[in-house]
Amino acid sequence: MTIRAGLIGYGLAGKVFHAPLIDAVDGVTLAAVMTSRAGELAADWREARAVADAAAIIDDPAIDLVVIASPNDTHAPLARAALDAGKHVVVDKPLAGDAATAQAIVNCARERGRTLAPFHNRRWDGDFLTVRALVEAGTLGTLRLVELRWDRFRLEQRAGWKDAEGRGGGILADLGPHLLDQVLLLFGEPDALQADLATQRAGGATDDYAEVTLHYGTMRVIVSATMAVAAPRPRFALHGTGGSFVKYGVDPQEQQLREGMTPGAAGYGADAAARYGTLTEPSGATRRIATEDGDYRRFYEGVVAAIRDGAPPPVDPADAVTGLALIDLARTSAAEGRRLAVG
């Protein structure tokens, strides 16, 4: 059985992430794409036909899997429409604009007996895989402070929906689902959180600075995303009774995909040795820790297994709901200026 996928959206998410990954995985093929750039699509993927609107994909009986890579505010209604049409669904993050809406989509997928998989591809970043292995092995002892930071330097406002008010934009909606998903995989739900959101760039209409402190007993986990830091801080910094691990730089897969590298080609997902993280032991001795290779193909391999073999989806949609509940709570915390209990 070859799963025929229809992709809604051919911007950054559709063109750089979903289309190449679908093409690189056995058992699924890219059959149709909703895009206004038919010529560009034909040059990239000759066998995929261009369609003008989402309904042409959702209502097509030949399409098995609908992949939603459109603006954030369209994710929920398109996912619901695709599920109601009997399709399996992949939704780029965020699954919805809030946890309640996301839960309704999860309920719909369960009622329809369809696979629903939120695209939390950063679970397969090499640096995160490395950090997860260190945490699970107890290498750093009892953790006291963990920081996940994603810094960018982009002072200009983008013309598209990501910097527009009321379209699901803003940095918390953009990077928060990835960062919080990684935290939840490492540590589960926190006891409480406190958040700070701001619009720092001139003329901004959405948040472009976010910092959320998550409380786990005596351990603190800080997730942060910014658009005005020219010298990025460590992407991961973990400090415990057994030492510290600090890792700079982001996983290379996005840049490799932007440059046209085929997933699975030699060097795909491999970190440069110069960017390996540093483990500092209590004695002060240091050593470099090789970064595991990342591989986003594992997401779509999991989608194929879920649809064809009945395996669990590669990302449990309940995890996406939990992450969005934390984002909802973070917005309330920032607005009220206080720490709030989780759950």
> How far is 329 from 342, CA to CA, in rounded Å?
8
Residue 343: the pLDDT is: 85
The HSE-up count of residue 39 (CA atoms within 13 Å, CB side) is 0
Strand pairing partners for 195?
212
Mean pLDDT in the chain?
Answer: 96
177, with CB counted inside 10 A (0-12, 13-18, 19+), is buried
pLDDT tens string 147-175: 999 999 999 988 788 888 777 889 999 99
pLDDT tens string 243-301: 999 999 999 999 999 999 999 999 999 999 999 999 999 999 999 999 999 999 999 99
Cβ contacts of residue 69 below 8 Å, gap of 6+?
7, 8, 9, 10, 11, 13, 14, 17, 18, 92, 119
* H helical segments located in the chain: 19-24, 38-44, 55-58, 75-84, 99-112, 126-137, 171-187, 253-258, 297-309, 317-336
Could you tell me what percent of the chain has a pLDDT over 70? Answer: 100
Q: Looking at residues 106-115, what average pLDDT do you find? A: 98
Lowest mean pLDDT of 72-81, 96-105, 166-175, 307-316, name the range: 166-175
Strand pairing partners for 145?
220, 239
Q: How confident is the model at residue 31 (pLDDT cuts 50, 70, 90)?
A: very high
Closest CA to 195 of 336, 54, 65: 336
Structure tokens at 327: 């984002």
Could you tell me what percent of the chain has a pLDDT over 90? Answer: 95
Look at residue 328 and tell me whether its pLDDT is greater than 90: yes
Domain 3-119 has CATH 3.40.50.720: yes
Residue 158: the pLDDT is: 81
pLDDT tens string 188-225: 999 999 999 999 999 998 999 999 999 999 999 999 99
Q: How far is CA 44 from CA 20, 47, 49, 171, 229, in A?
A: 10, 9, 11, 30, 34
Domain map of the chain by residue range?
A: 3-119, 122-297+326-341
Residue 157: the pLDDT is: 86
Residue 166: the pLDDT is: 74
CB 69 within 8 A of CB 13: yes
Domain 122-297+326-341 -> CATH class: alpha beta
> How far is 341 from 343, CA to CA, in rounded Å?
7
Domains 3-119 and 122-297+326-341 share a fold: no
Q: How confident is the model at residue 17 (pLDDT cuts 50, 70, 90)?
A: very high
Angle between helices 317-336 and 99-112 (to 10 degrees): 170
Residue 160: the pLDDT is: 80
